[in-house]
Each structure stands twice: as structure tokens, then as C-alpha cells.
Structure 1
Amino acid sequence: MTDAEVPRQLNTFALWREVDDTRIRTRLGGVFYLLAWLLTWVFSAAPGELIISGVLGCALFGALLAARLLHRPDEVDDPVQLQRWLDRHWGLILLTALCWGQAHALAIYSDAYNDSEIIATLATVAFSTAMTFNFAMRRGRALLALALLYLPGLAVMALNWQQQHTTLITLACYLGYLVLVLGRNHREYRATLDLELKLLEQQSQLDLLSRTDSLTQLGNRYQFNNLFPSLVANAVRRGEPLSLVLMDIDFFKKVNDEHGHAGGDACLSAFAERMRRVFRRDADALLRLGGEEFGVLLPGTTLAQAWDLAEHFRQELETEGLLLAGQRLALTTSLGVGCFDKRQDSDADAFFRRVDSALYRAKREGRNRLVAADH
């Protein structure tokens, strides 16, 4: 999986990481359960006489192996789907542990498996150790899996205390050790995950800073250059409209001359805030393209709808101006608006040039006006 496919939301990333770790660590587990049962059956005293239980056991563990391998996560960025996959896959892990616990108990209980009882016991130790070190991400579920692996066999050994008490005590002590190690491994896994989340958060903050204009908190030119082509491609693919509004603050140099650069910065910030009041849909992308030039990307918006929003912005700014240091600053803006048209726009750059030409016509024709791009 590439970095681009890794979810960036922190809560989704934590689930995705657990899903990915679980998926990787469970691949070979089913193979060894099947192999352990096959060895337990083949090296029993009379495998031919145990053909029914032997074949049924192989079929059961083979089916569990196939279920593990075929159960793959689909949506990496949907926390509901990720949690559902985890719950279902842990169901397979716990079912496998339950089945092996019963197989171990059968090998201890039945005299027919006396010769291979040690194989089943060693396999139980191996499986429980693997569970402790590989699946510590969910401590409660791992503890349940350990109980399902161990307790059936220990219960049968307890029934035959005289002959099995040494093995029973040894396995019980080792189980206690595994429980302690599981707690430590769980803490280490959570600490590692927390560190990954902190790094992801820092990376997201740096990415946001690189895409955000520090003065206005709008998207910057870098974000526009990355977002604009993808929105155009998406509009073409879905057959949906995509509109673009470009705007320049009229005579901004005069603002800087009269109010200083601090006043000019305050004007730009207030202008950006006014943009947020008018272009306030979640899908709208508001950007400062440089200097006093701004832009708005409007997915799913027709030319008529974009025109109405842009004209409303122009009229409101002309009527109300901006509040600067407690005083009203008269201000106007020139705007160009257009909607992507694949008959005229060969790509995103052609679309931008068409709207940019409309903006410059608005400035040439006297400013404080909105001009639509040529059709």
C-alpha cells in the first residue's frame, strides 16, 4: 500500500493500522493449525482407525485457513468498515483458538492419541506464544483466545491429576507468564501507535501549513495548483459542472499607501473573511492566489449559480466595504467567472486562462464589475 492510500484522519488511521497488522500477522497462523492437527493425527497410535476424526479435523482447520486468507479489508478510509472487518476477523481467530483447544483436549483425553499427545501440547504452547506476541493490540480478545487454547486441555489434565499434574502445573505457570507478557506487549503496541499518531498529526499540520496562506488562512497557490486539476478531472468524469471565480481587490496599492502594510494585511484578512460569509459551502475551495488576487473553486455549481454568488459578493462589498481599525474602508473588487466546458477547455490550464481573461476584462472596463468568461 502506498502512502497516498494510508488514511490521514487520526481515528481512522489507528483502526487501519490495527487492521493492517492483524491482516499481516494472521496469514500464516491458519497453516500451522492445520499442520499441527495433521501431525497429531498421523503420528497417533493408529491413524487409520481415526480416519473420520482426522479428516474432519483437517477439513475444519483447512476451512478456517481459507476463511482467514479470503477475508480481506475493503475500505481503508471508512472507520465503520474497518471496525467491522476487525470484529469479523477476530471472530475467525477466536473460533480457530476454540477449535484447537478442543483438539488438544481430545488428544489428551483419548488413548488413541497417546503417541502424539506431546505434539498437540507443544502446538498449544506455540500457538499461545504466537497469540501473545502477534495479537497484543486487543488485550481482552487475546486473553480470551489464550483461555480458549489452554483451558480445555488443562481441564482434561485436571481430571487425570495423578498422571498429568506435572504437565498441568508447568502449563499453568507458562500461561501466567504469557498473561504478563501480553500486558507488556499491549502497552508497547499502544505506545508505538501513539507515536505514529503524533507523527501523523505533525505531518498533517505541516501539510496544512504548506497549503495555507498564513495571513488569510485561505488555501494558497500551492493548494490551488494541486486541487484545481483534480477537480477538473473529477468534473469531466462525473459530468458535473465546475465553476471558477477569480477576483482582484481594486486599487489595493492605494490601501497600502494610505494605511501602511499592516493596514493592507488587515484589509486582506477582512476580505478573506467576507469571502467565507458568501462562499460558505463545505465543497467550496477559497484561495488566495497571490497579492490581492483571490479565487473560489465551486464544484457542482453551474455558471448561473456561480454568477449569482459572485455578484452578491461584489455588491455586498461595494455597499458595506470592510471594517478596518474600527472604521469603514470603501472597497470594491473586479471578478471573472466561468464554468468548465470540455468543448472549449482542453485542460485545467485552458479553463483558468479563460476565466483569467474575464477578470482582466473586468479591470480594463472600469473595475468593480463581474465579467463571465467567453463561451
Structure 2
Amino acid sequence: MSNAEVPREPQTFALWREAQDTRVRTRLGGIYYLLAWLLTWLFSDTPTELLAWGFTGAVFFALMFALRLLHRLPAKETPQALCTWLDRHWALVLLTALAWGLVHAWALSDPAFASSRLIATLSTVAFSTALAFNFSMRKGRAIAALLLLYLPGLLALALAWREQHAILITLAFFLSYLLLALKRSHREYHNTLTLELELREQQQSLEQLSRTDSLTQLGNRYQFNNLFPVLVANAQRQSESMSLVLLDIDFFKRVNDEHGHACGDACLSAFAERMRQVFRRGSDALLRLGGEEFGVLMPNTSLEQACLLAESFRQALAQHGFTVQDNSLPLTASLGVGCFDPQRDDNAEAFFKRVDDALYKAKGTGRNRLVQT
């Protein structure tokens, strides 16, 4: 999965990471329950007499293994879908743990398994160790799985206390160790997850900085160059309208020359804020393309709608201007507006040039006007 496909929202990312880790760590684990059962059965004293039970157990553990493999992650990685997937996958893990715990208890209490009793016990130790160190994402569920693996066997040993007390005490001590190890593994897993979330947040912040104009907090030319071709391609593919507004502050050099660059910067910030007030739809992308030139990308917007918004911006700016640092600045802007037309525009570059030509026509014919194309 590419970085673009990884969920960006922290809670969703944490669930996605847990689901990914759970699937990877349980993918092949189920086969060992099947192998452990086959060894416990086939090396028992009377495998032929246990033939029906042997095949039943083999089918059950093979089914659990197959269900783990077939349980794929949800296509829509929403928090609800990921939680549902995790609940169902853990249900398979817990059911398998319970089944093996019962197998272990059976092997400990039935004389028919005297020859393979050690195999069942060692398998229980192996499965529980894997659980403690590899499935600590959900501590409560991992503890439940450990208890399901151990308690049936410990009960069987307790019922034969005189003969089995040494093994019972040893397994009980090992279970207590695994519970402590699970607690530590759980803490380390979530510390690692927290660190990964912090690193992703820093990466997203740096990415946002690289795409944002530091003065106006609008998107910068880099973001425009990445976003504009994508929006044009989407509009062309889906046969939807896509408008572009280019704005240039008239005679901006005079502001810097007469009032200083600090005032000029404040003016650019005020201009950007005025743009946010007019082009405030969630789908509009506002950008500073460089110097005193700005742009607005307007998906699903006709030429008439774009011209209406752009003209209202131009008129309000011409009427009110800005008051910046106690300076009244009667600013105006020239605008070029166009809508993508596959019949006229071969690609995004051709569309941009057409609108840019309209902007320069507005500047060349007196400024403070809008030219549509």
C-alpha cells in the first residue's frame, strides 16, 4: 500500500495499523494448531481408535486456519469497518485458543494420549508464548486467549494433583511470566504506535508546509502544479465542469515602493483573507501562484458561476480596498476566468494558458476588470 492510501486521521490510522499487524501475525499461525493436533493424535497410544476424533479435530483446525486466511481486510477502511474486522478476527483467535485448551486438557486426562501428552503441553507453551509477544495489540483479548489456552489444562492437572502437581506449578509460573511479558509487550507496541503517529504528523506538517505559502497560508505554486492537472483530468473523465480564476493585484509594485514591503506583505495577507470570504466553498482551492498573482480552482463550477463569484470579489475590492497598518489602500485587481472545454483545451496546460491570456487581456485593457474566456 502506498503512502497515499494509508489513512491520515490518527484514530483510523491506529485501527488500520492494528488490523494490518493482526492479519500478518495470524496469517500462518493457524497451521501450527493443525500440525500440533495431528502430532498429538498420530503419536497417541491408540490413533486408530481415535480415528473419528482425529479427523474431526483436523477438519476443525484446518477450517480455523482457512477462515483466518480468507478473512481479508475491509475495502472501506473506516473506523467502524476496521473495528468489525478486528472483532471477527479476534473471535477466530479466541475460538482456536479455546479449542486447543480443551485438546490439551483432554490429552492430560486421557490415558490414550500418554505417549503424546508432552507434545500437547509443549504446543500449549509455544502457542501461549506467541500470543504474549505477537498479539499484545489488545491486552484484554490477549489475556483471554492465554487463559483459554491454559486454564482447561491447569484444571485437568489440578484434578490429578498427586501425579501432576510439579507440571501444574511449572505451567502456572510460566503463565504468570507470560502475563507480565504481555503487559510489557502491549506497552511497547503502543509506544511504537504513538511514535509512528507522531512521525506521520510531523511528515504531514512538513508536507503541508511544502504546499502552503507561508505569508498568506494559501496553497503555493507547488500545490497548484500538483492539483491542477488532477482536477482537470477528473473533470474530463467525469464530464463535469471545472473553472479556473486567475487574479492579479493591479499596480502592486506601488504599494511596496510607497509604503514598504512590510505593508505590502500585510496587503497580500489581507487579499488572501478577502478571497477566503468570497470563495469559501469547501471544494474551492485557493492558491498564491507567485508575487501578487493568485488563483482559484473551482471543481463542479460552470463558467457563469465562476464569473459571478469572481466579479463580486472584484467589485468589493474596488469599492472598499484595504486598511493596512493605518494606510488606506484603494486596491483593484484584474481577473481572468475560464471553464475547461475539451473542444478547446487539449490538456491542463492549454486550459491554463487560455485563462492566463484572459488575465493579461484584462490587465492590458485598463485593469480592474474581468475577462472571461
Give TM-score, length-normalised by structure 2: 0.97
Deviations 1:263-288 (A, max 9, x none): 10000000000000011111111000
Displacement of 1:243 in angstroms is 1.0
| Matching residue of 2:78 | 78
Displacement of 1:327 in angstroms is 4.3
Question: Which region of structure 1 is more displaced relative to structure 2, 1-10 or 345-354?
Answer: 1-10
2:227 is the alignment partner of 1:227:
yes
| Matching residue of 1:114 | 114
Deviations 1:134-171 (A, max 9, x none): 01111111111101111111111111111111111110
SS in structure 1 at match of 2:100? helix
Question: Which region of structure 1 is more displaced relative to structure 2, 299-308 or 260-269?
Answer: 299-308
1:75·1:82 contact (CA, 8 Å) conserved in 2? no
Q: Which runs of 5+ in 2 are unaligned?
A: none
2:179 is the alignment partner of 1:179:
yes
| Matching residue of 1:338 | 338
Displacement of 1:246 in angstroms is 0.6
SS in structure 2 at match of 1:112? helix
Displacement of 1:260 in angstroms is 0.7
Displacement of 1:109 in angstroms is 2.3
Q: Partners in 1 of 2:40 and 2:318 — Cα distance? A: 87
Alignment of 1:1-375 (within 5 A): 1-75=1-75, 77-373=77-373
1:287·1:294 contact (CA, 8 Å) conserved in 2? yes
Q: Which runs of 5+ in 1 are unaligned?
A: none
Q: Partners in 1 of 2:152 and 2:344 — Cα distance? A: 74
Residue type matched to 1:119 in 2?
A: I
SS in structure 2 at match of 1:47? coil
Displacement of 1:248 in angstroms is 0.3
Residue type matched to 1:260 in 2?
A: G
Residue type matched to 1:44 in 2?
A: S
In structure 2, the CA distance between the partners of 1:264 and 1:278, relative to structure 1 (3 Å rule), is: same
Q: Partners in 2 of 1:87 and 1:326 — Cα distance? A: 62
SS in structure 1 at match of 2:58? helix
RMSD: 1.3
SS in structure 2 at match of 1:294? strand
Residue type matched to 1:102 in 2?
A: L
Q: Partners in 1 of 2:321 and 2:132 — Cα distance? A: 67
Q: Partners in 2 of 1:79 and 1:328 — Cα distance? A: 51
Q: Partners in 1 of 2:372 and 2:335 — Cα distance? A: 9
Q: Partners in 2 of 1:225 and 1:137 — Cα distance? A: 41
Deviations 1:99-153 (A, max 9, x none): 1111212222222222211111111100000001101111111111101111111
Displacement of 1:252 in angstroms is 0.6
Q: Partners in 1 of 2:135 and 2:302 — Cα distance? A: 52
Residue type matched to 2:196 in 1?
A: E
Q: Partners in 2 of 1:251 and 1:56 — Cα distance? A: 86
1:16·1:76 contact (CA, 8 Å) conserved in 2? no
Displacement of 1:326 in angstroms is 3.8
Q: Partners in 2 of 1:64 and 1:128 — Cα distance? A: 17
Q: Percent identity?
A: 65
Q: Partners in 2 of 1:221 and 1:46 — Cα distance? A: 78
Displacement of 1:236 in angstroms is 2.0
